[in-house]
């Protein structure tokens, strides 16, 4: 049976995922304006992944015979102090989302909602990857420091990031 508490928390998680997408799109726009097309591209793909995460929850709730109700999305931060500040913000955000997913998993355990536990396992693994990838970028930006050549190389490298293979956000 689909626990009501889990369903409500998943409905909230759709909001968190779309909010994440919005935050990353705002970061992409910042990089666009700062003429870092590669960093911007990386953030736009992050936006797509977050929307795909939201759709996973959306589809799951509906597949269990319940309906989603959407919530208002706040205005995201538009200005940042530096490239590093943007990616550190992204890492802190991912750590917060990991906490959300873990709480959701804990709730599904308490409620003995086994289909939800199975569904959420993908997100547990995904968050490990998310934190790892953003963490790597943070470290590389720290290493580049004020070296504009190194930052341009990094911009070029991150611009190679490809969109998710399917709408499920791999």
Q: How far is the CB of 2 from ligand OFO (least distance, A)?
A: 21
Q: How far apart are CA 117 and CA 114, in angstroms?
A: 5
| Tokens coding 26 | 């705002």
Q: How far is the CB of 155 from ligand OFO (least distance, A)?
A: 21
Phi/psi for 93 (5° steps) reads: -65, -45
Of 7, 9, 12, 10, whose CA–CA distance to 71 is shortest? 12
Backbone φ and ψ of 69, nearest 5°: -125, 125
- Cβ atoms 32, 43 nearer than 8 A: no
Q: How far is the CB of 22 from ligand OFO (least distance, A)?
A: 11
- Decide: is 19 part of the binding site for ligand OFO (CB under 6 A): no
- Of 7, 15, 44, 53, which one interacts with ligand OFO (CB under 6 A)? 53
- Residue nearer to ligand OFO on the CB measure, 64 or 133: 133
Residue 111 sits in the site that holds ligand OFO (CB under 6 A): no
Answer whether 35's CB lies under 8 Å from 154's CB: no
Q: Does 130 bind ligand OFO (CB under 6 A)?
A: yes
Could you say which of 56, 61, 94, 144 contacts ligand OFO (CB under 6 A)?
94
Q: Does 20 bind ligand OFO (CB under 6 A)?
A: yes
Among 6, 7, 15, 17, binds ligand OFO (CB under 6 A): 17
CB of 36 to ligand OFO, least distance (A): 21
Residue tagged 């779309």 (tokens): 18
Structural contact between residues 144 and 32, judged by C-beta atoms closer than 8 angstroms: no
**Contact residues for ligand OFO (CB under 6 A)?**
17, 20, 50, 53, 94, 97, 130
């Amino acid at each position: 049976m689909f626990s009501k508490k889990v369903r409500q928390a998943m409905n909230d998680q759709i909001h968190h995922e779309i909010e994440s997408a919005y935050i990353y799109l705002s970061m992409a726009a910042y990089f666009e304006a700062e003429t870092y097309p590669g960093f911007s591209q990386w953030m736009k793909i992050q936006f797509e992944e977050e929307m795909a995460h939201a759709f996973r929850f959306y589809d799951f709730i509906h597949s269990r015979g319940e309906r989603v109700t959407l919530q208002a999305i706040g205005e995201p931060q538009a200005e940042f102090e530096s490239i590093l500040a943007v990616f550190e913000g992204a890492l802190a955000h991912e750590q917060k989302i990991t906490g959300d997913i873990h709480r959701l998993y804990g709730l599904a355990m308490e409620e003995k909602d086994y289909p939800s536990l199975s569904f959420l396992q993908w997100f547990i693994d995904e968050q490990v990857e998310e934190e790892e990838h953003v963490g790597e970028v943070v470290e590389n930006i720290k290493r580049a420091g004020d070296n504009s050549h190194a930052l341009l190389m990094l911009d070029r490298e991150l611009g190679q990031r490809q969109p998710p293979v399917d709408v499920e956000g791999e």
